[in-house]
Amino acid sequence: MSSLPATSLLREPLWHLVYRYWFWGWLFLDVNTGDLLRRAAAWRHNVRQRVHLPVYMLRWCVALVVTGTVAVAIETLSEARLAAAVFYTGAVLCSVAQVIAAIAWAFLRPR
């Protein structure tokens, strides 16, 4: 949790909370800026934040299963192939997000 007071967290816009729920980029620091000491500190910070990535992978896995199930249900129960294609596309995007999180999790191991 951040060091902000609880009242400022209540004023955070909904879209910001939704973004932080689905995407993990806000957890990590850029290791390509600053001098060597700052880059090393950013790397250590990112390695410590690695523990949150399985939660994001689980969220994307649930979204993948839901969109895939809806796509299969639409395709088998009706002839709306375009609607099924929309949900299949969502499932593919969920799997891409999951693969990216898994790669980041794998490479952010402590040395």
Helix (H, G, I), strand (E, B) or coil at 30: coil
Query: First vs last Cα of the chain: how many Å apart?
Result: 26
Q: What is the pLDDT at residue 6?
A: 59
Residue 5 pLDDT more than 70?
no
Q: What angle do CA 101, 88, 103 make, to 5 degrees?
A: 15
Q: What is the pLDDT at residue 108?
A: 94
Q: What angle do CA 73, 67, 49 make, to 5 degrees?
A: 160
Mean confidence (pLDDT) of the chain: 91
For 93-110, what is the mean pLDDT? 95
Q: Could you read off the pLDDT of 18-61 as tens digits, one per residue?
A: 999 999 999 999 999 999 999 999 999 999 999 999 999 999 99
Residue type, 47: V
